[in-house]
Amino acid sequence: MNKFSFFNSYTCPNYILGEEQLGTVLNLVNRIYTEFVSDELYSLEIIKAYFEALLHLFNRILSINPTIAPTSSFNQIATRFEQKIIDSGSAIASIKEYANDLNISPNYLSECVKKATGKSAKQILLSHKVIIAKSLLQEQYKNIAEIAYEMGYTEPTNFTKFFKQMTGTTPNQFRASF
């Protein structure tokens, strides 16, 4: 998410591709599909590489056309809120802290996010926290306690409770599924 800044979960503006850009995107998507249906050796690795190329292509397209932006002030605030969450990495702050960073009140931030996304600011914050936790759990060299501390939990059991409540599985069960 940090590498591809357009990759917000809830506050994505609409993008319009030119004819040439659309042709390039469709070419990559067709290659991904062809590789997906062929059951050949290294297909998964090739698909991953094509997806990364596709994401880099979108980065290029958006850097050429930086005028693409959310239109309403609600969308702008919600997008800035989500970008601040992404920029903070695993150090997720409180809604109040994000509101202070945006120079608005927490209530106004929550109102804007709700109008722009249909979800509360807390729901978006928790969703990002789960995404970060899942990505950290895929790093096999870190144990659950290290991940819990990195996520801001003083006790690994609190992290486990949070993760189970949000995903329905424990961190160990999630990790074992890989």
Report the phi/psi class of residue 93: left, alpha or beta, with left for phi > 0 and alpha for psi in -120 to 50.
Answer: beta
Least trusted range by pLDDT, from 4-13, 35-44, 71-80: 4-13
Residue 163 has pLDDT above 80, yes or no: yes
State the pLDDT at residue 70: 47
- DSSP state at residue 14: P
Would the pTM count as exceeding 0.85?
Answer: no
State the pLDDT at residue 33: 92
Asked if 170 and 164 count as a contact pair (C-beta separation under 8 A), the reply is yes
> How much is the average pLDDT of 12-41?
81
Residue 118 has pLDDT above 90, yes or no: no
Domain ranges of the chain: 19-64, 71-178
- Distances in Å between the Cα of 90 and the Cα atoms of 42, 75, 152 are 32, 24, 8
- Distances in Å between the Cα of 34 and the Cα atoms of 20, 27, 37, 47, 57 are 21, 11, 5, 9, 19
State the pLDDT at residue 1: 46
Fold that domain 71-178 belongs to in CATH: Arc Repressor Mutant, subunit A (1.10.10)
Average pLDDT, the chain: 82
Residue 151 has pLDDT above 70, yes or no: yes
